[in-house]
Structures are given as C-alpha cells and as structure tokens.
Amino acid sequence: VGGTPAAVLKLFGTKEKLLLAVLDHWDGITREIAQQGDPRLARLDGLANLMSYHVQHKGLLQLYTTMAAEASTPQHPAHDYMVARYKRTLNDMKGQFRDAAAAGHLRSMTETEVQREGEFLLAAMDGLQIQFMLVPDYDLVASFNDYVAAVLARLKISPS
C-alpha cells in the first residue's frame, strides 16, 4: 500500500497489534459468511460456505491458526483476543444448535448435548482446516460437507 514500516508502527504500535487488526477484520467477514446459513440447518451450511472462503484465502487462515496456537500462552499479546473469540464462537455455535432444536428442525437436545455439539463442531473445523494447510491435495470443503451431513443425519428428527 506504499506505507513505510515506521508508518505501520505508528498506526498499530507493534507487529502483534497489526496482526490482531487483520484478524479482527477477517473475523467480521467470516462471521458474516457463517451467519448466512439456513437456521433450520443450525447454519451449518453457512459454515460450509466459510470453508470455501478459507480455501480461497488460505493465507488468512494460516495467520489465524498461527496466532491461535501462539496465543495459547497467557503472556502472548493476542491471548485475551483469542480466548474471547473462541468463547464467542462456541456460544454462537451452541446457539445455532439450540435454536434449530427449539424450532423443531433438529431433535430435542439437552443443554449438555448442545454444549458438546458446539465443542465438536469447533474442534472439527479447526482440525479439518489444519489438515487443509498441511496436506496439499486435501479437500477441505468436501470433508467439512461430509461432517455436516453426518451431524445433520444424527440430529434429525425421527419420524413418529
């Protein structure tokens, strides 16, 4: 963009703060994509669209994953940001399952089941995305779509 390192330092203060600003912008985009999913499907189709976005923007996914791993130590400048983001993301996912079940689109679930579904979904996304970054021919979109199909099959309402 034509800026100098001194200008970047003046605007953001540190490299970590610059990276956090990039991640914060990326987070807004990814939240918007994810929320475009069908509430009857617990918005899992929106998350599938998010996997397609990650394939097209692999560098941002790599930045996020690197920062998430580095920020696992409380001393890291991005630690609080990442902890808050994970908590918010997990709460969003639990809410999606809770809302779909309450509306009768998925089978009824206990609060513990809702908690676990959110945790499993977040873990599956993280794990599949890491495989995508490490294995050159890994099909992130197909793998995530298979995961979503299995979740929906397991949680669908049984015919009476």
pLDDT value, residue 158: 64
CA dist., res. 114 & res. 82, Å (int)? 22
CA dist., res. 101 & res. 108, Å (int)? 5
pLDDT tens, the chain, 160 aa long: 677 877 877 787 877 788 778 888 888 999 999 999 999 999 999 999 999 999 999 998 998 899 899 999 999 888 998 999 999 999 999 999 999 999 999 999 999 999 999 999 999 999 999 999 999 899 999 999 999 999 999 999 766 4
**Is the CB of residue 45 less than 8 Å from the CB of residue 148?**
yes
Which ranges constitute the DSSP H helices of 57-139? 58-70, 79-102, 111-134
pTM for this entry:
0.86
